[in-house]
Amino acid sequence: MTSTILSNNLKELRSRKSWTQAQVADQLAVSREMYSKYETGRAEPPIPALKRIASLYSLSLDILINVDLSKVDLDQLVELEGNRVLLPIKVSPDNENAIEIVTHKATAGYLSGYADPEFIEQLDTLRIPFLGKDKLRAFPISGDSMQPLQNGSYVVGKYLEDIRNYKDGHTYIVVTQDEGIVFKRVFQDKENSKQVILYSDNEEYAPYPIALSDIVEMWGFACSITLDEPKQETPTINKIINMLKVIDNGSR
């Protein structure tokens, strides 16, 4: 437990309600002296007390303990199944959904910052009006495993609130602590319901399994952005043979 975040949150929440320490202590059935120690970090509330505090402010334990609430509008927090937290959706001055851009440089800190309001606030944003009001975020693509997407392209993903609701065979940005950020095609593992198989569209890359419990976030494909001109594909021998067959058949 991060006691500094918790103690600061207790002070922040009480201040927003304009309550005194004695008033909060009465509602929690503890002495004012003990509650004061919670706010100053000299004592950590036991689990039953934490549950009462979370209930008092209509928050999940996850939000209460892990999110710096001084930086967040509580009305915009989205609480998901399993006490996971989705930070507020950024909007532009004209109320359009702002797409946060995780640049190549920002990917290094994303795994530790995806639930940090300050980290998310520092990300650049863009707008693509026709994508609607969903929670969207843009991630960079590295390598050639998902051709025809080129190295350096960006995939804009739509946040998947429950990863169990993925669509078999569709493409997703998958975020895990071990693999980091990858863009793959996700298939059900028919032999193990607790994991999925990640496939690349480039057959030179082998598929591999990953446990659902290891997945931090999933973002379904919404659109892609590339800054490079499409490359002309070099015909293979098989394609040349097929082209010649078509020409030959057409001349008969």
State whether 110 and 62 are in the same domain: no
Asked if residue 151 is part of any domain, the answer here is: yes
pLDDT score of 238? 67
Burial letters 164-197, b for 16+ CB under 10 A, else e: eebeeeebbbbbbeeeebbbbbbbeeeeeeebbb
Quote the number of domains for the chain.
2
State whether 127 and 212 are in the same domain: yes
pLDDT score of 10? 95
Distance separating alpha carbons of residues 148 and 202, to the nearest angstrom: 9
State whether 125 and 38 are in the same domain: no
Distance separating alpha carbons of residues 133 and 131, to the nearest angstrom: 7
For residue 40, what are its two tokens?
């100053």
Q: Are 154 and 145 in contact (CB under 8 A)?
A: no
Amino acid at site 19: W
State whether 69 and 18 are in the same domain: yes
Please state, for a pLDDT cut of 70, what percent of the chain lies above it: 79
State whether 65 and 116 are in the same domain: no
State whether 148 and 44 are in the same domain: no
Q: How confident is the model at residue 240 (pLDDT cuts 50, 70, 90)?
A: low
Question: Which segment of 13-22, 57-66, 133-142, 197-206 scores lowest on mean pLDDT?
Answer: 57-66
Per DSSP, the three-state class of 228 is coil
Q: Are 199 and 185 in contact (CB under 8 A)?
A: yes
Q: Count of CB atoms within 10 A of residue 244's CB?
A: 10
| CATH number (domain holding residue 109) | 2.10.109.10
State whether 9 and 70 are in the same domain: yes
Distance separating alpha carbons of residues 207 and 96, to the nearest angstrom: 38
Model confidence pLDDT, tens digit, residues 46-58: 988 998 998 898 8
> Which residues on adjacent β-strands are paired with residue 165?
none
| CATH number (domain holding residue 67) | 1.10.260.40
109 or 39, which is more confident?
A: 39
Q: How confident is the model at residue 232 (pLDDT cuts 50, 70, 90)?
A: low
For residue 1, what are its two tokens?
């437990």
For residue 117, what are its two tokens?
């309001």
State whether 8 and 70 are in the same domain: yes
Asked if residue 245 is part of any domain, the answer here is: no
Which residues constitute the domain of residue 23? 3-74
State whether 112 and 34 are in the same domain: no
Average pLDDT, the chain: 83
State whether 115 and 49 are in the same domain: no
Distance separating alpha carbons of residues 21 and 44, to the nearest angstrom: 16
